[in-house]
Structures are given as C-alpha cells and as structure tokens.
Amino acid sequence: MFDELAQREDERYTTPPRWEALMEAVSEAACLHLFNPDHPLQTIGRFEALATRGLGGFGVVFKVRDPELDRLVALKLCMTRGPESAEGLMNEARVLAKLSHPNIVSIHEPGREGDDVFFVMEFVDGVNAHDFVRDEDPPWPEVVDVYRGAGRGLAAAHDAGIVHGDFKPSNILLDAERWPRVADFGLAQVIADHLAGEELRHRPGTLPFMAPEVLRGQAGDPLSDQWSFCVSLWQGLEHGLPYDGWTPAELLESIERGDPWVLQPAVPEAVRSVVRRGLSVDPAQRYPDMHALVAELDKLRERPGASQETSLDAPAVVPGSSKVTEARRRPFVLGLLLTGAALLGAWSVEHVPWAQPDPAETSKPQLAGCALWELPPHEPSPEVQSICRLIRDGDYKGANLLWDSVHRARFISPSTSGIEGYSHLDLALDAIIIAQTFAEEAMVIEKSTTKEEAYRVASSMAKGWANAASSTSVLHRETERAGEPPATGEPPVTLETIDRQVSEVHRRLQD
C-alpha cells in the first residue's frame, strides 16, 4: 500500500528540465566537494546546496547552507508561470513567514532563482510520518501522539486564517526526538492560485487525502484540512488508506460506499470512532475545528492503560506535543530513494576513509569486509570496500551516512562515480553488497541480549538498502525499455540476480 501510494504521487508530476539540470548540478558538485573540500558547491541564490531532499508536484526541496548565518536550512524551489505569478508567490511567502508555532516548519524568507521562487525554511533532520510508520511499524499510541502534535500545528494555522490545502503524512516532519512539525502550509493552494488555466492535476491537494467537497470542485477550508488529517491518521493506524481511487470520480465512489476499511485489529475502536467523525462526508458532521479533534485524541491518551504501549507523554520542551521515550527511539534509514537527507559536502577529506589509503593496504585488494552472497566474481570499488569496513567496525550510522551520500549522487547521475561505463545496474550491485554486509552484521549480533538496539539498526539498514537495490535495478530496466543506449562493457550482474539477492536478504533476516 505504501509503495503503491508513492507510485501514484510520482505519476501526478512531471519535473521541469531546468529542475532536473539543477538537481544534477547540485549532486555532481556536492559529490566532488565530498572528495575535495575546495571544490565549490552549487549555489541557489546565496545558499550553498548540499543535497536534493525531495521532489513533488509544485517544487523540489534542497538541503542548503546559509553562508551568512552559517546554518543549515531547507530550500523549496516552487513552480511559477511568469513574473506576475512569481510576484504573487513572493507576497504570499511573506504572509506565511509570519506563521510561528512549535509544530510548524518555519518559513524564514522567500527568494528568486531565475523565473522560479524559493522558500527558505527550517531544516528538520529526520524522517516524515509516512516513512516513520512504514519503516518502523510503531504501535498505535506512537502514531496517535505524532498526529496530536501535528494537529496542534494545523489548528494554529487555522487560527491564523491559513488553510494547508495538501495535508498528508509526508508533510509531517519528525526530528530525531520524534517531534512533529507540519510543512508546506498554504503552499499548495497558493501555487495553484497562481497557475490559473492549468490542468486539473494542478488542483491543490493529493488525491487520496482530498476531502469529498474538494473533489467536487469546492475550495479547501479548515474542515477539508480536517478530512485530510483524518485520512493520514487512519493510514498510519491501519497501514492502508480508508478509501481508494485512481481518479476523483473513483475516490468519491469509494467514499460514498460507506465505512473505511479496518485492517489492524490492535487499534482500539475508540480511536477509530474519533477518526471516523473527522471522515464524515458532510463537513457539518465533522469536529467544529482541529482543537476539538485534538482534544478527543488527548482524552484517549489520558485514559488509564492507554500508555501501556510506549507513552509519548514524557516532559517536552513545548507542552502538548509529542516525544518518544528513550526505549523506543530507533535509528532510521535515510537512504531510501529521495526520501531522506544525504549530508553531501559535510565531510572533509580526512573523514573519508577511502580518500587516504593506508600504504600497507594498497598492495592487495581488501575484500574481507564486504559480503558477496552468490554474486559473480567482483571487486567492489574502494569507497564500497571502505564503507563495508566501517560496518564491520560497528560504525553503522557513519557507514550509512557515507553510502547514502554516494548512492544519492550516483542514483541521480551514475557518471559521478568517475568509473567508465558505470550504470544504475552497477549501483544496484553496490547497494546489494552494502545490504548483505549489514545483514551479516545483524545475524552475528542477533543472539546477543546486550545488542538489541544494534541489531535493529543493522537489520533495518540491510532491508532498506536491499529495497534501494531493487528500486535501482527497476530504473535500469525502465531505461532499457525506453531504448536508451546501454553502458559499455559486460553488465556486472543480471537483474534476476539482484532480485534474488534482495529476497535473500529479507529471508535471512526473518529466519
């Protein structure tokens, strides 16, 4: 269900060629900077771009550094249609910048890049709620607490007269402490207003989360935001959308058929009852506002016994939001395709293990660190070997960080590898080697009662990079179908071998 939803999102959008060129330039400059800190980074306005964070229908998000304030921020480049549209966006950005709340991603300032407008926002180093639920499968109280915090942010925006217009799990950003912040307030509606005359695909909102009245053509309002909030919460609790449809007509038909699907018996009916009211087809039957809805969620979490499965009600910096207790804080995979933060450019040469090889090690290949399960004879590249050694040394986070940086750059442009003929199929092979090495580490420490957290980290990263290998091989297959010329030389591995080894990683970690 999660992968299907992501596919639907991708199909809604086309990327302007200028953005594709910019993303490739950012990736190439950041990768070169990783190996040579004197190499300049690509700039957007005055900001130094470190990595591409995500891509959507109305914008592309970059992780950047503000050289004037020496801080990391996020920069969202937005679609426009000429000078009048750009000026309208700039004015709206100044209004949105006044919106301030602990559960809202702050907008610092607007700016211009060619014909496009960008918004500079608070940088949240973590995952979004969609990936959090998909990758970590948290119990229902954790999901509810994430949405309690997000609901407070949504309520504060409504109090200020701002409608979100595109609320969905991927617009809830969670930091390392699982503190939720809602992103992109008002941007979908604002951008849509300035794309007059465009096709229906530019209607604000994301289809599975759009309220029935919006599907019928009415303007969004706080009650339609409430519907989107409840669809998102339902998906987080049930691991499935309450209603399904590939078109507005199909989705409306599904909504009108009746009660949403129930998929997770462990979720209390009292929780579903709260969410069902927010999913009332008649807006007048929903909660009067988000404050009332969040208050009902608060009551659920305050009942005796409601905190037995990991309470998030520990003291927080700002009252009324959510944090995760130490026992439930888990590292998470940042490397799944375009859904996490690569820290390109943040490492100097002395931090890169393969940049300064030990002379004693250069006389022979160092393959002992890399797992090569049933793969053809293959000598991994020096950076892959070095990352494997980091994994063997137990530095899982450092290994994951470095490989995420390399993988992201090569996924966008394989030529950044500097290896002649390197293709997405080579990248899939490297990713499965990293996945197998993480998996071997997980299996070694699985039986240790003192290394449960390390096992969760290693196994999670193994599965994540196995999935990345599968997705990369699919991209290679689609490239072949499109008739693009193949890379020169013999392919390093077959697509069938990649698929088989991806399954093997998951099988061994389940045994």
Question: Any idea which residues carry the catalytic annotation?
Answer: 166
Sheet holding 43-44, edge to edge: 43-44, 47-55, 59-66, 71-78, 116-122, 107-113
Residues 6+ apart with CB under 8 A from 280: 286
Q: Give yes or no for a contact between 229 and 167, defined as CB atoms under 8 angstroms apart.
A: yes
Please state, in angstroms and rounded to a whole number, the distance separating the CA atoms of residues 151 and 148. Answer: 5
Place of tokens 């980091």: 390
Answer whether 160's CB lies under 8 Å from 99's CB. Answer: yes
The residues facing 63 across adjacent strands are 51, 74
Contact 240, 261 (CB under 8 A): yes
Q: Are 335 and 400 in contact (CB under 8 A)?
A: yes
Cα–Cα distance for residue pair 309/328, rounded to 1 Å:
10
Instruction: Give the single-character DSSP code of 337.
Output: T
CA distance 494 to 497: 5
CB 70, CB 47: distance < 8 Å: no
HSE, side-chain direction, 13 A CA sphere, residue 98: 8
Write out the two tokens for 367.
């393959």
Residue written as token pair 């061994």: 508
